[in-house]
Structures are given as structure tokens and as C-alpha cells.
């Protein structure tokens, strides 16, 4: 069965300005979001490597991240933070769109696919009054001849851009020389500028560019906040070395500097490419055979390279943070440091180098899994947040969260509400230590044809596990994981990841109710995508059992001054039960219907709304209708079981909405009839 709902709406009153976006006297913080590429949870000193150092086991080498450790001491650690996917393209798409992988248009390994033309971190922050800039790796531009990509950052809410557009370009860290992967292209907005970038190591290049942007912004637009998406392409892929040591000092007058001269664009664009080994690691040795009576051997060059790149990132972040202090804007700047997915075993180096394996430094920390795994090691991220005077120094955020929570978090920090489309919740209250917010909806789905590596540190239950279709869901302290999913009836392996971070003890047999809940929930928070087929796509979304329901819907109305539909829970202008959907007018320009739809039989239901107004509808947590952005309405079929299903329907106009002419119909293959009010219920 296919059902369509058509609503005809009109507007009849002026928009009220009663709900201001933010107190004009309340400063909005600058926001810098630093996203590294394949930086593992275990790469960060304060989360894991310092523990290795304190053990003093010479057979277990360690990394040093003093600047990131300082950032943690001045801000907050988020040890329960997840990525939306275990590989870069879908992870970054979910982050930028603010949605889970169950509702993103970029899934699996869809590199270079166009990011959906919808609200993004860029558009949301721009609407909040921010100057927006993206620097570094993009990889979501879509197919077209350069530079006319349909999803260029400037077409997704960013005012300016500097970096690698194509995904594959991020596999080479010297764009002009192309040391190991061939020459690549760097773009400034729509202009290719690679020819000027002699000896520019991308980690240094993107850092210098970020510093230039911040300095210029303070000179020219200091009364306007900025949002920076700084997406490094390191430590991923080719473990290329910088040209020289990190420049002395940091911040305004030291560290990396933008020179702007072709052939010498930054102050490390000299010397020999791919040559500088950090002295902290250059002569390091270790106990390779775990026998203290034998001589230690040098670290293989591959691991010296990785450690140098890791330390370089630490220097770069410290350099930027010092700049904020030098400009006296650190107390009004929220800085986030995180990664796109777990650690990789890729190195892309010539054959004379040893292949990289995260076993050497245990980049996955105490977890099992790496990049492309839905075990904790593939999706648990090394994440820090700093906002002096607002985020308590040295604090630890214990509640779990996920990358698509950043959209509502940044929106709240800017004094606005995020678009209703976002699957995330704001974690600002947890960051500031004021109170707990709603539970994050932590869900991951992904496909990969390979297997989890057979690393000795991993549990026997995970080594060489065939991946294929995978899902992960977290509820409180419990994580459910399914690999090689054959159907929706496959059981989750369930772990208490606080007590069992390595996920060795499957406690599913002790949690039959939770097993059932997880199986239902993963169907109630995703819609299908034909470009990323799943073995559970045809599963029927289960109904909910409800007694003593009343016919009709609960209706609330609000004044919403934002250009998008947002979730407003407090102080409605009207709140009442309605027996019928038409024939009633409300104050305000946003009307929300809430209740249940009584589905007459199992079938595929496609909902739609015929309206010039903005529209949005969820069934359970599934986006069924998205008509909130532009003039396009997106309709997602939902395979519903017979019975009651919760719905929320949002209608927003420029003025108060007249519901007198509201008409609902549903269509089947054989008929088209007006929907009876008997189909809708509420508590």
C-alpha cells in the first residue's frame, strides 16, 4: 500500500517578532571545529598514550601530544563521543548535515558524492550571523567538471573555502610535488591555486591559512562571530613528513605564518619535502622481542613517520589556540578537536617501508576495531572541547554523544534552535556542566566487504569478523552491534561498554527485552536509500502498543522567527486537542500536530504534503517528509506494520496559518479517498 497525504494551507496574519533569536547584548562565541583524518582514540596522550608512557614498558612505544593534553586540562574531554560512520565520506556528511547515517544521502564508501542540498553546519551558522569558512579536505562535491561542482562548500553555506575538494587529493600531503600519489589540486573558493604551493605540506598549509583567516577576521569583522570548519587530511594515508621543524613559538608572532608569496606561501615552504623527522622520535628504540636482556632496536621508519605527523598535528592545534589567546578572543571561542573515524592501517608508502599497523601504538586504545569497523575502536573518537570561562577546565563529559549532535550544539551556542531535520541533540549543557540534556540518538550503519583485523590485542570474538552489513546502536551504557547482517531478525551482540570497553562479554542472553527494543529502534530511526541497499531494507517498521487513545491530534502553535522549522517545546501560543484537522485557525506561523496514525495494514507508505508552506513529518524518528529547505519536498517511503505509529507533522508559513482549507487524502493503487479523522489518535 502507498499512501500520500496532501495538505492545502494558506497564511493570513503577519509574523510575530515575539521570540527574538538572541539577546543582542549576549556575545555569540566564535566556533572552530577541528576535524582530523583517521586520528584514533588511542592517539591522544590524555586519553591513552600517557597511560602507556607511565607503564614504562619498552615493548609498548608511546606518542606525545602535549598541546592537546593542555587543551584537555583547560577544557573538557569527551571520552564517550562517537563518529556517525567508521569511514570519512559518510562520517563527514552526517556531521555537516546534522543527521545519522540512517537518514544521510551519503553512505558507505560514496566518496565525492554531492552533499545533499539542505541545511548544513555552514547554512545554520551563517543564518545565525556568523562568517563561515571551510579549510582543508571536503570530498562531498559531486560529479562535474572543476570548478563547477554542485556541492562545492560555497554552495553549502560557507562564505569562503581553501583546500582539497576531491576525496583522493587528500591522500597526498604535498599537492604540487605529489611525492607519492601524484600532484593534486588545491582550490581557493573556485580558483585552483596549486601552482603557487611549492613545498607546502598540507597540515602546515591549512594551519597557516586558518591563522590568516582568524587574524584578518579580527581586523575586518571583529564584531561578527566566525565559524571555522578546519578539516585536516592528516594523519591519513601517505605518512609524508614536513620540510622542517615546527617554526619557533606559536600564535600571532610565532609558529606557522602565511606569507602569501607564490613559491613561498607559508614559512615552512623551504628545505626538502618529506624530510623532517621529529627529534622526539628520530632515534627512538624499543624492546621488539619483549626481552629486556636483548638489545633494543630502532623504531621502523614507518612509525617514526606516523609519530612525527601526530606530533605535528599537536603543534598545529597548539599554535591556533595560542593565536586565540594572543588576540584576546580565546574566552569567546569554542574549539572542538575530534576525528572522522578510527585509526587506519593504511600508509601508501613505497615498498621499502614497512606497512603501517595500529598495533605498534595501539591507536585503538582499549577498544577492538579500527577504521571501517562498527566496534568501539572504529567509531569512538578522541574528542576535546575548550571554551575558557564557560567549559570548566579539566572536566570530563560522561554522557555519550555523536557527531551529528554538533549542529544543535553550535546552534544553541549561537542562541538559535537547529533545523528540525537534525537527528542530534544539543550537548551544550553537558559541556558547560550545568545540566544533562536529552539522550543522544546514537546509531551507525555501514557496509564493507572486508573483515576486522586479527590483532592479538583484539578479543577472539572479534578477530577476522566478516563485516559486510553492520549496525551499531547505543542505549545508555549498552551498545548493540551486528555484523554480516542477513535480516532484521539477526540478534545484536550487546555489551556494557563502560564495564567492558573491549566488548568481550556479550550479555545479550541476559537482556532479552533490550534485544527486542534495539531491533525495533534501528528500524524506527532510518529510511532506505537505494544507492546504499541494506539486507533489512524491506523490514516492516513495528507499531507501538497503545491503549485508551482518543480520536484526533494534539496541536500546538508557535511564533518561529527562524527560516527553518525548529523544535520548540516551551510556551506554545495554543495547545489543544482537535477532533478534525481542518476548520481550526491558530495564532503563530508554526503549527505542530502530534499523535498516532492508525495504519490499516502492513505496507509501504509514502507521505507527501501539497503546500506552499514549509513542511516536515516524522514517523517514529524516521524523516518521512522534508519540505523545509528551498522549494523541494523530499518524500521517503516507510514500510509500516498494521497498528499505531507516532507522528509529528510540522507546518510553517511566513504568517499565521489558516487551516480551514486543510485537506488530507491518502492514495492506494486502487483508490483515492479523503482521510477520515478516525485514523488519527492521541493520548
Read off the C-alpha cell for 383.
574528542
Name the grid cell of 246. Answer: 615546527
Tell me which residue has cell 595500529: 358
pLDDT of residue 674: 65
pTM as predicted: 0.95
Alpha-helical regions (H) of 62-193: 66-74, 88-97, 121-127
Q: Which residues contact 631 (CB under 8 A, 6 or more apart)?
A: none
Q: What share of the chain is helix, strand, coil (3-state, %, to 5)?
A: 20, 25, 55
- What CA–CA distance (Å, rounded) separates 376 from 161? 33
Q: Are strands 401-402 and 81-82 parallel, antiparallel or unpaired?
A: parallel
pLDDT, residue 561, reads 92
154-180 pLDDT, tens digit per residue, is 999 999 999 999 999 999 999 999 999
CA distance 485 to 99: 23
| C-alpha grid cell, residue 6 | 496532501
Residues of the chain with pLDDT under 50: 1-24
CATH architecture of 10-19+544-682: Alpha-Beta Complex (3.90)
- Per-residue burial over 66-97, b if 16 or more Cβ lie within 10 Å, else e, is ebbbbbbebbbbbbbbbbbbbbbbbbbbbbbb
Question: Domain boundaries in the chain?
Answer: 10-19+544-682, 30-441, 444-523
DSSP-based three-state secondary structure for 35: strand
Bridging pattern class, strands 680-682 and 656-658: unpaired
CATH superfamily of 30-441: Alkaline Phosphatase, subunit A (3.40.720.10)
SS3 60: coil
Please name the CATH architecture into which domain 444-523 falls: 2-Layer Sandwich (3.30)
Say how far apart CA 629 and CA 239 lie, in whole Å: 41
Q: Is 630 in contact with 618 (CB distance < 8 Å)?
A: no
* Residues across the chain: 683
**What's the N-to-C CA distance of the chain in angstroms?**
27
Query: For position 258, what pLDDT does the model report?
Result: 98
Match 597548539 to its residue by C-alpha cell.
318
Parallel, antiparallel or unpaired: strands 442-451 and 466-475: antiparallel
Among residues 397, 344, 380, which one has the least CA distance to residue 501?
A: 380
Res 24: pLDDT = 42
pLDDT digits (tens, 9 = 90+) for 45-93: 999 999 999 999 999 999 999 999 999 999 999 999 999 999 999 999 9
Which residues does residue 615 pair with via DSSP β-bridges, in sequence order?
627, 651
Residues near 222 by beta carbon (within 8 Å), at least 6 away in sequence: none
Q: What is the pLDDT of residue 4?
A: 41
Amino acid at each position: 500500500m502507498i499512501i500520500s497525504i496532501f495538505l492545502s494551507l494558506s497564511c493570513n496574519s503577519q509574523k510575530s517578532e515575539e521570540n527574538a533569536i538572541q539577546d543582542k547584548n549576549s556575545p555569540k562565541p566564535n566556533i572552530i571545529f577541528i576535524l582530523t583524518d583517521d586520528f584514533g582514540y588511542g592517539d591522544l596522550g590524555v586519553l591513552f598514550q600517557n597511560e602507556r608512557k607511565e607503564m614504562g614498558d619498552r615493548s609498548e612505544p608511546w606518542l606525545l601530544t602535549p598541546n592537546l593534553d593542555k587543551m584537555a586540562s583547560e577544557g573538557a574531554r569527551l571520552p564517550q563521543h562517537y563518529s556517525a560512520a567508521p569511514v570519512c565520506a559518510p562520517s563527514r556528511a552526517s556531521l555537516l548535515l546534522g543527521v545519522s547515517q540512517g537518514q544521510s544521502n551519503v553512505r558507505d564508501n560514496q566518496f565525492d558524492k554531492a552533499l545533499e542540498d539542505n541545511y548544513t553546519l555552514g547554512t545554520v551558522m551563517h543564518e545565525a550571523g556568523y562568517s563561515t569558512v571551510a579549510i582543508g579536505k571536503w570530498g562531498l562535491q559531486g560529479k562535474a567538471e572543476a570548478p563547477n561542482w554542485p556541492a562545492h562548500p560555497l554552495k553549502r553555506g560557507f562564505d569562503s573555502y581553501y583546500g582539497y575538494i576531491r576525496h583522493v587529493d587528500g591522500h597526498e600531503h604535498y599537492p604540487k610535488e605529489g611525492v607519492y600519489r601524484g600532484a593534486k589540486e588545491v582550490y581557493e573558493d573556485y580558483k585552483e591555486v596549486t601552482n603557487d604551493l611549492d613545498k607546502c605540506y598540507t597540515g602546515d598549509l591549512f594551519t597557516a591559512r586558518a591563522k590568516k583567516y582568524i587574524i584578518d577576521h579580527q581586523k575586518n569583522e571583529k564584531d561578527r562571530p566566525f565559524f571555522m570548519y578546519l578539516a585536516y587530511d592528516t594523519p591519513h594515508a601517505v605518512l609524508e613528513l614536513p620540510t622542517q621543524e615546527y617554526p619557533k613559538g606559536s600564535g600571532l608572532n610565532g609558529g606557522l605564518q602565511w606569507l602569501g608569496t607564490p613559491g613561498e606561501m607559508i614559512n615552512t615552504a623551504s628545505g626538502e619535502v618529506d624530510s623532517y623527522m621529529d627529534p622526539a622520535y628520530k632515534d627512538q628504540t624499543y624492546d621488539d622481542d619483549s626481552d629486556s636482556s636483548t638489545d633494543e632496536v630502532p623504531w621502523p621508519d614507518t612509525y617514526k613517520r606516523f609519530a612525527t605527523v601526530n606530533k605535528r598535528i599537536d603543534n598545529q592545534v597548539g599554535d591556533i589556540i595560542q593565536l586565540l589567546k594572543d588576540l584576546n578572543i580565546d574566552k569567546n571561542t569554542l574549539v572542538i578537536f575530534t576525528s572522522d573515524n578510527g585509526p587506519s592501517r593504511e600508509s601508501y608508502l613505497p615498498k621499502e617501508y614497512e606497512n603501517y599497523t595500529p598495533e605498534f601504538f595501539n591507536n585503538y586504545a582499549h577498544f577492538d576495531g579500527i577504521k571501517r569497523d562498527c566496534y568501539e575502536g572504529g567509531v569512538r573518537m578522541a574528542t576535546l572541547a575548550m571554551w575558557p570561562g564557560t567549559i570548566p577546565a579539566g572536566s570530563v563529559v560522561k554522557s555519550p554523544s555523536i557527531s551529528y549532535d554538533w549542529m544543535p550544539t553550535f546552534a544553541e551556542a549561537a542562541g538559535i534552535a537547529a533545523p528540525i531535520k537534525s537527528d542530534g541533540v544539543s550537548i551544550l549543557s553537558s559541556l558547560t556542566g550545568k545540566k544533562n540534556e536529552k539522550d543522544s540518538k546514537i546509531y551507525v550503519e555501514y557496509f564493507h566487504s572486508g573483515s576486522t583485523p586479527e590483532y592479538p590485542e583484539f578479543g577472539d570474538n572479534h578477530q577476522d569478523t566478516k563485516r559486510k552489513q553492520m549496525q551499531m546502536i547505543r542505549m545508555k551504557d549498552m551498545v548493540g552491534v551486528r555484523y554480516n547482517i542477513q535480516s532484521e531478525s539477526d540478534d545484536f551482540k550487546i555489551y556494557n561498554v563502560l564495564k567492558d570497553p573491549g566488548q568481550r562479554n556479550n550479555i545479550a542472553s541476559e537482556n532479552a527485552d533490550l534485544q527486542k527494543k534495539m531491533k525495533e529502534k534501528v528500524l524506527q530511526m532510518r529510511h532506505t536509500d537505494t544507492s546504499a541497499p541494506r539486507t533489512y531494507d524491506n523490514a516492516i517498521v513495528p507499531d507501538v502498543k497503545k491503549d485508551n487513545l482518543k480520536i484526533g491530534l494534539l496541536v500546538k502553535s508557535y511564533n518561529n522567527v527562524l527560516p527553518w522549522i525548529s523544535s520548540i517545546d516551551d510556551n506554545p501560543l495554543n495547545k489543544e486537542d482537535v477532533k478534525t484537522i481542518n476548520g481550526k485557525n491558530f495564532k503563530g506561523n508554526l503549527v505542530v500536530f502530534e499523535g498516532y496514525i492508525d495504519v490499516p495494514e502492513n505496507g509501504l507508505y509514502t507521505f507527501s504534503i501539497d503546500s506552499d508552506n514549509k513542511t516536515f513529518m516524522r514517523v517514529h524518528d524516521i524523516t518521512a517528509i522534508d519540505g523545509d529547505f528551498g522549494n523541494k519536498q523530499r518524500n521517503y517511503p516507510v514500510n509500516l506494520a498494521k497498528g499505531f505509529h507516532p507522528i509529528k507533522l510540522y507546518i510553517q508559513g511566513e504568517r499565521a496559518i489558516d487551516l480551514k482549507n486543510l485537506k488530507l487524502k491518502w492514495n492506494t493503487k486502487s483508490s483515492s479517498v479523503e482521510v477520515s479523522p478516525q485514523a488519527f489518535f492521541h493520548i
